[in-house]
Amino acid sequence: MSKEQSAETITKHIDAIVSQLQRKNAKVAFFVGAGISTNCGIPDFRSPKTGLYSNLRKLNLPYPEAVFDIEYFREKPKAFYTLAEELFPGKFVPSKFHYFIKLCHDKGILKRCYTQNIDTLERIAGISDDKVLEAHGSFSGNHCIECSNEMSREKLREFMDQERIPTCASCEGYVKPDIVFFGEALPAKLWEFWEEDVDDVDVAIVAGTSLAVYPFASLPAEVGKKANRILINREICGDFETNPRKSDIVLLKDCDTIAELLCEKLGWSKDLESLWLAGNKSVRDTTENETEDSSSQKDKAAAIATEIAEKVEAGLESDRKEEKNEKDKDVDVLADAVRKVSIT
């Protein structure tokens, strides 16, 4: 449950975190979720009104999560690709929290960034491949679900631009981005990295996640006892609520706001602003004065979630009409055959 924290409490916590980050040879690991991307205009999945699942619940899907179910994808891939069109990398600018992680990377203190997000914004922010672990996969690669043949992003985009489902050149199976669907295994690299990192973290920063999806949710609970755990979130959750440690720090605030406060205390504010403005210019090809504020981006997230729902519904309605037309044709053929039967 979320609650208001006083300015004095927030300042005290910020100072404590800064002290930890400034320690010699500090090793920082991030565990992040959709909450660090909502300020970018990307809708999350579980918010009651603006989340993708809330909007998809209105559709004629067997259940909202079916859009990410591998068996449903085999039968009806159109729903996923309608959603993928809106979330595809290139439309969104990393948030200030993404760039805060990037600064930790540049300052040499980032051990790893474990993310639940599929949007690749950590990579777009400039964090190197060996420092990012996308626990639920991402749009960074694409493979056939039957023979595992790889397809380039350019080729996949070509299919999508033509409103066609990407199919494998080798076996004609459906191709999808390397997002982990329900029914698929998590990346093997997750466990390889975690075995290396679990006892080698000084500061564990958990941000923008409800810690509701396992096994990712268990990672902050497993970090070594020497690690200082920090939660930056709208509400307290997971192990911070059920099994808190005395050294835990909890900041119940917007992730970008905390990133700005930390960078101010660390002397990184100019670096943060430069990265964020450069990201806006690069991704949106705009000037500094044309960047969107966070409230506009949140409105955009809600609009995108609704638009996705409407597009998926239109696609499903088209499928239903096609199925009905096929059934009508079958009935007409059967009726014609019956008329031609002569009774002897």
Residues 266-283: tens digit of each pLDDT: 999 999 999 999 988 876
Contact indicator for 162, 183 with CB cutoff of 8 Å: no
Token pair recorded at residue 164:
């066609």
Mean pLDDT of the chain: 83
Burial class (CB in 10 A: 0-12, 13-18, 19+), 203: buried
Give percent above pLDDT 90 in the chain. 64
pTM, two decimals, is 0.79
pLDDT of res. 315: 54
* 279/38 Cα distance (integer angstroms): 16
Token pair recorded at residue 302:
């809600």
> Is 35 assigned a ligand-binding role in the annotation?
yes
> Is 40 assigned a ligand-binding role in the annotation?
no
Token pair recorded at residue 286:
């705009």
Q: Which of 13, 98, 105, 136 does the annotation list as catalytic?
A: 136
Please say if 136 is a catalytic residue.
Answer: yes
Q: Which residues contact 323 (CB under 8 A, 6 or more apart)?
A: none
> Is 210 assigned a ligand-binding role in the annotation?
yes
- Higher pLDDT pick, 141 / 50: 141
> Is 182 assigned a ligand-binding role in the annotation?
no
pLDDT of res. 143: 97
Residue with the two structure tokens 């409407």: 310
Residues 120-141: tens digit of each pLDDT: 999 999 999 999 999 999 988 9
3-class SS of residue 32 = strand
Residue with the two structure tokens 């790889």: 150
Please report which helix (H) or strand (E) contains residue 55, including its range: helix 52-56
> Is 234 assigned a ligand-binding role in the annotation?
yes
Reply yes or no on whether the pLDDT at 302 is more than 80. no
Identify the structural domains of the chain with CATH numbers, from first to last: 7-324 (3.40.50.1220)
